[in-house]
Amino acid sequence: MHNEKDGEKDFFEIEGLAGQRILSGTISVGGAKNAVLKVLASSLLFKNEVSLSNVPDIEDVHRILEILEDLGVVVEKKNAHTYKLFTDKINTHIISPEIAKRIRASIVLTGPLLARLGKVSFPHPGGCVIGKRPIDVFMEGFDLLGAEVEEKENSYLIKTKNKNLHGAEIFLKTPSVTGTETLMMTAVLAKGTTVIKNAALEPEIESLGDFLNQCGAKISGLGTPTITIVGGDLLDGANQTYVTMPDRIEAGSFVVLGALAGEDLTVDKCNPTQIDSLLYYLRNSGVKMEVGTDYVRIKGAQPKVFKSFDVKTHEYPSFPTDLQAPLSVFLTQTTGQSFIFETIFEGRLQYLETLVRMGADAKILDAHRAIVEGPTPLHGRQVESPDLRAGLAYVLAGIIASGQTVVHNVYYIDRGYENIIERLKKVGVKIARKN
């Protein structure tokens, strides 16, 4: 694994396939980044220990573990993918500003720490630069649960008004994933019953809630828009292990790669039902694939022409914003005009300017909408990764382009994809990591 300093100067060199469909073999999906980060945060709700397996060996996991250690959690690493956390000596309410500013997911630690210690201090969260990501959903929820928020110059101090947090009815104005998860975790230790309405439906929330229930929480309604939590005592993680669910965004990214360049490519160790929206779009476009219970195989003669289509990102189970950039690379190879409507984040379409430099015919209409005309051959370029998902999209573009593509600032890609170079090389991609 490469640390942040490495990733900032490291780059990927890709020899493009110039549109050839030659990738074959199997590429396996790892544990879900967006699931495991929340379960790690939930360790603050436990009186003793938390065991985790199938943990992806990625930068974001290392950063969250650093913050937890700073709070007094003892981290025992069994191997690259298995950890045991001892949580009986949490000793500070201050989340390290230096680490937290580099990882936006640190915001989910605030609720569990507030619930456990009665107060939490944290900096304004950092992470990828993809438009505004307001944190008012957290603040409003904490207020309803009986905490008060004090805003300082670059940080917040939140503390309970009385001795304990109490149950509340919380309506989320948008079904935020991190909002749902953070407030659900906070409510686990609050006195009384909390009802979260318009809760997000993402499978990562269900995975987290199921594990907390195994360890003594009382959460019902998981997977529905109304989640009810009956508060209680610290959880007991003895004799329980959280097995990280497969990463559906990674699975989707690899399926797009197969659609673009696969001769006989299997994406395995995944849950295809969690990427139904992507599979629907690709099938309708003409991609031929075989879908099993834990794999997607793209093989055989694909049509010479893929049909263009319009895509609108939306909360689960609709099309995920995190697959929008990889899918746009596919749209550059479809015939006709495609319309992209990004409804979750504004400014997330800026990466299209780089695809245009590589030969794509794309126009950004405004902060949320763009048009792609295809098919256009792509050509290798020097590109800079602006965020995790766009960085991976540039890798996909480089693979199908002619000539050499160099992707800089690969720390962003390391944040979410474990050993991406080795896995891509195994199926026939000509790619190397240099510095």
Cite the active site residues. 128
Residue ranges in 235-289 assigned as alpha helix (H): 248-261, 276-285
Assign 56 to helix, strand or coil: coil
First to last CA, the chain: 14
- Interior/surface letters 243-263, b for 16+ CB within 10 angstroms, e for the rest: ebbbbbbbbbbbbbbbbbbbb
Assign 260 to helix, strand or coil: helix
φ and ψ of 126, to 5 deg: -110, -145
Tell me the C-alpha distance between 351 and 349, whole Å.
Answer: 5
Assign 239 to helix, strand or coil: coil
φ and ψ of 417, to 5 deg: -125, 115
User: Computed from CA positions of residues 249, 253, 255, 256, in that sequence, does the dihedral angle turn out positive or negative?
Assistant: positive
**Omega of the bond leading into 375 within 30 degrees of 0 (cis):** yes
Task: Give the side-chain half-sphere CA count within 13 A for 209.
Answer: 27
Assign 149 to helix, strand or coil: strand
Tell me the C-alpha distance between 252 and 58, whole Å.
Answer: 18
**Which pair of structure tokens corresponds to residue 326?**
């990889």
Tell me the C-alpha distance between 259 and 193, whole Å.
Answer: 47
**Which pair of structure tokens corresponds to residue 161?**
């008004």
Helices first, then strands: H and E counts in the chain:
15, 24
Tell me the C-alpha distance between 255 and 268, whole Å.
Answer: 10
In contact, 244 and 55? CB cutoff 8 Å: yes
Residue ranges in 22-156 assigned as alpha helix (H): 33-42, 59-70, 97-100, 110-117, 136-144
